[in-house]
Chains A and B, each alone.
Chain A
Amino acid sequence: MSGALEGIRVIDSTTMVAMPTALHIMADMGAEVIKVDSHTLFRGEGGVFPENDPGERHWDRDGSFNTLQRGKVGVTLNLKEDDAVNAFKDIVRVSDVIIENNRSGTMDRLGLGYDALRAVKPDLIYLSNTGFGYTGPWRSYAGIGRMFELTCGLSQFAGYEGEGPRRVGISFFDQHVGWMAVFAVLAALHHRDTTGEGQWVDFAMYQIGVSTLGDAVMDYISNGRSGSSMGNRHKYLSPHGVYQCKGDDRWIAITTENDDQWEALVDQMGSPGWAQEEKFADPILRWHNQDELDQLIGDWTKDKDQADLAYQLQKTGVPAMAVMDGRDFALDPHIKEREFFERVTHQPETDIGTRLYFGRPWKMSKTPAYIRRPAPMLGEHNEYVFGDLLGIDQGEIAKMYETNVIGKDPINPGSAKPTNLTRQIEQGVGSTIDPDYRQKLGI
């Protein structure tokens, strides 16, 4: 099967989460994505290890890394060496796109800035991802995904009602930014296909985050209003929240958006007397009396199974959903039938076996995307890229290994320990450990 980006070669000179996300999507779509890693800068750190065991090659065994790097071809280059910089340029010569997320100026210092690479590949598309962009008073400031939900203005809305702002989710804008990078690269590819021109894309995380808050920003421009946190509540809908169910820390999200849905909910609750009272008679009254309403709905849900109740409510037209944890979602029957997770079998050397990885939230009917290979082991494709693709002869490649221009084992692997999962559960980071996860997942 051929993918939408078949025949496009992309260089991945990125770290962290946002840009690796963009690049694994392109790889899923059939682009050949060459991840340029380094075996000399490598630092061993914590990770999410299979069976919580770092194993012999811990640098190849981290679940987050393997999620974000899946589908890519991996090489190493020690860019402190001139030979490595030249080899990098040779890869550029046969590529269409490069994405990098170094601090502004770093690539220029390495001799790999846009002007230097355009000289070897005139129609190159070169995307530089930074926190704040290449111009403006904040241009030199560091950008890390998890800080942007604050700085982009999203956190002004997050938190329990009546409290200050609070973090929500993981590094919130990393994925938005990664997805937008795919759009940006495609826009540049459309331009190249129609004009023959490449270009340099100044790609700032900050601006992308703010662009997903356009309505809030315009509220200030028109009305002088900034945001505040309202917990799980809605500006004019009620009920709109989560309610405790049977079991430890089990919850269901329920909302009604019109009178029909409200009546269906009342019907499901067995038409209790309180639901007929004047104070809940219309959406505005329900909104004004939502403290009491939430209490009453919570009394009804508290002895019910979250998944069964959500299913039952949805079947009668009431918007409801279990508040799922990672296990609930990975094992959810709908998600299974959608084949949202894909099975990937890893290289035997990694001793990871088979794992499930999330696919994409879309399906293309004619150019299906799928995870084409597991994340590369460090330097796994050095021979393919430097030998087969660039035509460097074997003797020369052997010399590159000897001089540490390339390598397959980290020079400084650090030491990785299993995560203290029991302590994490004491701290509240986790709720439990399921010993039967492999059996349940079929891996």
Chain B
Amino acid sequence: MTKTGLGQFKILDISTGISGPFAARMFGDYGSEVIKIESPQLGDPARRLGPFHHDDPHPEKSLTYFYLNSNKKGITLNLETAEGRQIFKDLIKSSDGLIESFGPGYLDSLGLSYGEIEQINPKIVVTKISPFGENGPYRDFQGNDLLYQAMSGIMYSSGAYHREPLKHGHPQTLWMAGIIAAYAASAGLFTAQRSGQGQYIDLSTAESAAAHHYTSPVRYIYNGFIERRAPKNESGSTKGVKFEGIVPAKDGYMGPTFQWGRQRGNYKDYVTLLDRPEIDDPRFASEADRQQHLEELDTILMPILEEMPKFEYFNKAMGDGWVAAIVQTSEDLVNCPQLDERAYFTEVEHPVIGSTKIPGEVFRLPKAPWSVRGAAPTHGQHNHEVYGELGYSSDEVVTLRKQGTI
């Protein structure tokens, strides 16, 4: 184990679900030793969260858990026992960071408040991820992805004009909070290395989503305008024309635009791109012209695009400097030539699932590189190793397990 960069840190991950485990995994990916602590009974609820390998709802086969907890050592520990709390304090003594997502006040009620943790290890950085933060009238409210998307304004400005507000189908707010927790914890560690002083970080998942959707409040604060859902011209385009939303292609969906690099392109050039000189038309020459003839433009372009295979359009347009997108499916991503050439997928051996590919390198940091050193742990997989390092003999670890401490 390298002791440079993030490799110098030992992180305790006692969080559950998506946000905290994703943050901790980022540390593990770039070299930290991450110890995942789970309850001896059921473990992280993410173990029961689909999708499952071969659709088998087995606690060691959750793919969500697998992805989020690779590069971690897994131990079990019961904080509700006195001995369990003592072991936790011993782990805190030798760690640099702790990521937790218990309900408000839970650790305090066990005598493990930040004040007490700080006494044991003043240099440790504690990152607490909660639904709405550690103060305020919603502190004890229930939180989940649907509610965060509702509160943040993501939903109010998404969907069709005449229909209900719409959320994103994948629980992105939870992943957002994970990235934010990772950088905030790392900033805490940065200053702890320099000053010797750790600290407590109070992170609100609802505010994470709001930090994402900052634009609606800006409009209100600057001139009282209240943003609503997509224009009446459907498909979620911001330009008032279907063409710049998500449109059908021959074999899926894509997002064509008149964006050429960082400027708006000319219609004549776009006609050349499509190789359809017969549709050149001065009515659409510039962006201002097009705004006067939105419906006519859709009528002409949509049938042409519907006949084009999405990758053919994407490669042609992007190769020529236009900005385009395609709605990639998971299948497309797994077979993507760009990800393949950048060695994005890595083969890893999982104790129960066997050998499989997992998504990989988030960014390229050549001198402290991303690596996958192990699949997600099975429940309590590293108890002997981690507790052994704390000085427990093999027999003592067995006793702790029989007592229900681990």
Contacts and interface: CB of A to CB of B under 8 A. Distances in A.
A332 B6 CA distance: 38
Nearest to A193: B193
B231 A217 contact: no
A59 interface: no
Contacts of A197: 367
Interface residues of A, number: 161
Given A204-B363, A227-B170, A428-B228, A187 B368 contact: yes
A329 B152 contact: yes
B247 to A, nearest CB: 9
Contacts of B50: 235
Nearest to B341: A136
Contacts of B228: 249, 325, 428-431
Interface stretch (A76-84, A206-214, A278-286): A206-214
B201 A363 contact: yes
A87 interface: no
Contact of A203 (B144, B146, B363): B363
Interface in A172-226: 172, 175-176, 179-180, 182-184, 186-191, 193-195, 197, 199-204, 206-208, 210-226
Nearest to A229: B169
A424 interface: yes
Given A142-B261, A253-B150, A190 B362 contact: no
Given A191-B6, A321-B151, 9 more contacts: A67-B218, A136-B342, A167-B235, A180-B363, A215-B68, A219-B51, A334-B138, A427-B233, A435-B224
A63 B223 CA distance: 10
Nearest to B216: A326
Interface stretch (A353-361, A388-396, A403-411): A353-361
Which 6 A-B pairs rank lowest in CB-CB distance, beginning with the nearest?
Answer: A157-B169, A167-B236, A326-B216, A361-B207, A191-B5, A214-B67
A269 interface: no
B330 A226 contact: yes
B211 interface: yes
A302 B218 CA distance: 29
Given A203-B363, A218-B67, A232-B166, A142 B321 contact: yes
Interface string B17-47: 0000010001000100000000000000000
Contacts, number: 530
Given A142-B261, A160-B166, A169-B154, A153 B227 contact: no
B66 interface: yes
A86 to B, nearest CB: 26
B135 interface: yes
Contact of A168 (B168, B204, B214, B240): B168
Given A154-B168, A334-B137, A356-B221, A5 B187 contact: yes
A308 to B, nearest CB: 13
Nearest to A362: B203
B104 interface: no
Nearest to A366: B199
Nearest to A208: B362
Q: Is the interface of B mostly helix, strand, loop or mixed?
A: mixed
A190 B153 CA distance: 36
Contact of A153 (B230, B328, B365): B328
A384 interface: no
A169 to B, nearest CB: 5
A99 interface: no
Given A48-B219, A227-B329, A231-B166, A212 B142 contact: no
Interface in A394-443: 419, 421, 424, 427-438, 441, 443
Given A141-B318, A186-B183, A429 B227 contact: yes
B398 interface: no
13 contacts: A5-B190, A150-B328, A153-B329, A169-B213, A182-B187, A190-B368, A217-B333, A230-B169, A244-B164, A255-B144, A329-B152, A430-B225, A430-B226
Nearest to A219: B51
Most chain B beta carbons < 10 A, residue from A165, A180, A314: A165
